Structure 1
């Protein structure tokens, strides 16, 4: 009997659950084969007192003060990269403004500006 181990590399990229396995196969007078599996998690649900959590956080910048008739520009940022599909919801809170004081909420797809649908992106 002996132990086998392999370290996972701690990075800052959220990858979601990742399964891998190690296979042992008998040679010569040793018969059979078997597979042991493991799952790497980086979503804060892992074992121990300080589980790794690489899930990105989303933030939005303030647009500051703008003149009436100008465009308020906000920047949405992720705290770190993600190999999983990233989805966010955009919502408009009128605050002290009236609906007629603002145009259409839009987001940039990288190839142009698109209106945010009423039910969000």
Structure 2
């Protein structure tokens, strides 16, 4: 993803490379298009153009365990790019120029 391919600027989390973070990446890849994952060794940088979504329901499906938002995601997320919205139902990273997005509908959108 680069400015030259029209995808725009990427937003998303920077995660400590753990098995839980791998599950987060997998769900983000399932719930978003054109996701770029940069493996930085100890960290995984996840970027999606303009808006990056992560649903709690999707993460629970992927891990088979109950997930608590806020809480469980922040343990592995060391940083992020963009503006972050976090609710009990999900997380959204977006460009500041993008309108707010409600992550709740994500579970049914997959």
Regarding TM over 0.5, the answer is: no
Q: Which has the larger radius of gyration?
A: 1
Return the structure number with greater relative CO, CA threshold 8 A, min gap 6: 2
* TM-score using structure 1 length: 0.27
Relative to total residues, which structure has the larger helix share, 1 or 2?
Answer: 2
Relative to total residues, which structure has the larger strand share, 1 or 2?
Answer: 2
* TM-score using structure 2 length: 0.28
